[in-house]
Amino acid sequence: MDVRSLGSAGEALDLVTEPLRAAGAEGEVSFGILRRLTTEPTAYGDEVTILVGGRSAAPEVLVTMTGPHPAMIVGFTEVEAVTFPDLVQAMLGAGRRPGGVNGARRWSEPFARAFCDVAGARAEVRREVRAFELRAVRRPRLPEGRFRTAAAADTALLEAWMVAFGADIDELITPVEAARTVARLAGQDDLAVWEADGRAVSMAAVTRRTPWSSSIGLVYTPPPLRARGYASAVTAELSQRELDAGRSYCSLLTDLANPISNRIYAAIGYEPKCDLRHLSLAW
């Protein structure tokens, strides 16, 4: 398999936009990474590696690795057609030894095995995630309150919630990172809250967009306020807003270890599309 290292996200999008569109929820994270890199080249760190593999002009697999983050893989053909050791050799040749790989299980598992076989890494499962798609909202019975976009007065609260959200999913989000994320999302009207009794009680955000879809994430309700329907309400209303704006569908990722969130999102119309597996690599 021929593996090419691309010099820019724009060059990659020229090659893989249509395959990523066809991949649906499997390809949304990769598309979101590339799209953001076109306007913010260092958004995820100074080091960016983009590999496209195939045996003809048509791309068969895409790998992106930004900064210290896991290598993200998405494929556009049968898994058996991809020579994973070639991808590993290309990563190593670029001076990259990722701390993990991520993607749909059918892609991330053989990619991780190739790192073990070729380079002697040790792999173990870190997290299993399910990707959902929603094309029509089933509005839940809404709790008391209202949906609104985040305001300047919410900033300190939402920054604290962002840090707490990271703790909930075992992903460190520092106060500095939280402040940066809240400022970026709120500045684009992409951070929303459910308000009850004059105060924000739950949040959700549009974390990525493609020309055809919006990804919903960062859904968080403080523990004392849970099980009241706030998360369902803010997620449903934000999803409907995106569909009303012309998106064909919304996507969402959930941790398979949290059955409650999986049930909540299914109840408002999110349908499972694929399972992703994040594997850690030890060197």
Task: Count CB atoms within 10 A of the CB of residue 275.
Answer: 13
Asked if pLDDT for residue 44 goes beyond 90, the answer is no
pLDDT in tens, 231-249: 999 999 999 999 999 999 9
pLDDT at 262: 84
Please choose, from the candidates 219, 182, 221, the residue with its C-alpha nearest in 3D space to the C-alpha of residue 199: 221
pLDDT at 57: 76
The one-letter amino acid at 68: P
CA distance 230 to 196: 9
Asked if pLDDT for residue 261 goes beyond 90, the answer is no
Mean pLDDT calculated for residue range 57-69: 93
CA distance 100 to 70: 5
pLDDT at 42: 85
pLDDT in tens, 156-186: 999 999 999 999 988 899 999 999 999 999 9
Mean pLDDT calculated for residue range 192-204: 97
CA distance 275 to 131: 6
Mean pLDDT calculated for residue range 207-229: 94
Domains 2-127 and 136-247 share a fold: yes
**DSSP 8-class letter at 12:** H
The pLDDT-based confidence of 121 (bands split at 50, 70, 90) is very high
Task: Count CB atoms within 10 A of the CB of residue 43.
Answer: 15
pLDDT in tens, 7-21: 999 999 999 999 999
pLDDT at 104: 96
**Residue 240 is encoded by which pair of tokens?**
């409907």
Asked if pLDDT for residue 126 goes beyond 90, the answer is yes
Give the domain 2-127 fold: Aminopeptidase (3.40.630)
Asked if pLDDT for residue 38 goes beyond 90, the answer is yes
State the Cα torsion 142-145-151-156 to the nearest 10°. -100
The pLDDT-based confidence of 282 (bands split at 50, 70, 90) is very high
Cβ–Cβ < 8 Å for 129, 275? yes
Class of domain 136-247: alpha beta
What stretch of H or E contains 280?
strand 271-282
Asked if pLDDT for residue 55 goes beyond 90, the answer is no
Quote the mean pLDDT of the chain. Answer: 95
The position carrying tokens 């998360």 is: 231
Question: What are the boundaries of each domain within the chain?
Answer: 2-127, 136-247
Half-sphere exposure of 266 (CA within 13 A, CB side): 11
Asked if pLDDT for residue 260 goes beyond 90, the answer is no
Predicted TM-score (pTM) of this structure: 0.85
